[in-house]
């Protein structure tokens, strides 16, 4: 089974870019979310191996969504994808349990390295290849 990814970003363009990079590297994109609240719901439904998360989104920000998801599953692997100038939020996200982060705009290899780093955390990859 390919490793499954949930992509969360309020910008459709960024979701498309992330999906293109990850699917091109063999990951299975199992879903997308445009808000933090939607990310929490989709995580509960899909239980992906890893997810990418923007920090600044409507309804519920990425930091609050990260905390909610980690409360549901302390082993959840979340990669923060956020814009330059949000370093303080990235530090808070890392403290809240984010496994890795990448600064937008990013190079494809930086995103892949961050996802690989996140997947190296924890042990809940049952059945993943």
Whether residue 19 is contained in a domain is answered as yes
Q: How far apart are CA 117 and CA 106, in angstroms?
A: 16
CATH code for the domain in which residue 104 is found: 3.40.50.2300
Write down the pLDDT at residue 129.
30
Top-confidence residue, 84 or 110: 110
Q: Give the per-residue pLDDT at 91.
A: 81
Rounded distance between C-alpha atoms, residue 108 and residue 1, angstroms: 23
Question: 104 or 129: which carries more pLDDT confidence?
Answer: 104
pLDDT of residue 82: 87
The predicted pLDDT at position 84 comes to: 66
Domain that includes residue 14, residue range:
4-119
- The pLDDT score that the predictor gives to residue 114 is 95
Average pLDDT of 79-100? 84
Residue 96 lies inside a defined structural domain of this protein: yes
60 and 36 in contact (C-beta within 8 Å)? Answer: yes
CB 49 within 8 A of CB 99: no
Q: How far is CA 120 from CA 13, 15, 87, in A?
A: 28, 23, 23
- How far, CA to CA in Å, does 76 sit from each of 11, 13, 17, 24, 40? 23, 25, 22, 23, 11
Given a contact cutoff of 8 angstroms between Cβ atoms, the answer to whether 23 and 29 are in contact is yes
With contact defined as beta carbons under 8 Å apart, do 49 and 77 qualify? yes
Q: Is residue 124 a part of any domain in this protein?
A: no
pLDDT at 85: 64
75 in a structural domain: yes
- pLDDT score recorded for residue 63: 92
Split at pLDDT 50, 70, 90, the class of 54 is very high
91, 97 contact by CB (below 8 A): no
Question: Contacts by 119-122 with C-beta closer than 8 Å and gap 24+?
Answer: 119/3, 119/49, 119/50, 119/77, 121/75, 121/77, 122/75, 122/77
Q: What pLDDT, in 10s, does the model give residues 2-13? A: 899 999 999 999
Note whether residue 128 is domain-resident: no
């Amino acid at each position: 089974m390919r490793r499954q990814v949930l992509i969360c970003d309020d910008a459709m363009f960024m979701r498309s870019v992330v999906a293109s990079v990850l699917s091109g590297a063999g990951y299975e994109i199992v879903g997308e979310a445009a808000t933090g609240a939607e990310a929490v719901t989709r995580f509960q439904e899909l239980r992906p191996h890893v997810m990418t998360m923007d920090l600044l989104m409507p309804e519920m920000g990425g930091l609050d969504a990260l905390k909610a998801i980690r409360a549901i599953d302390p082993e959840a692997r979340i990669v923060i994808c956020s814009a330059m100038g949000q370093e303080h939020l990235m530090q808070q996200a890392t403290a809240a349990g984010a496994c890795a982060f990448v600064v937008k705009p990013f190079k494809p290899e930086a995103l892949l390295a961050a996802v690989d780093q996140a997947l190296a955390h924890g042990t809940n990859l049952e059945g993943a290849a």
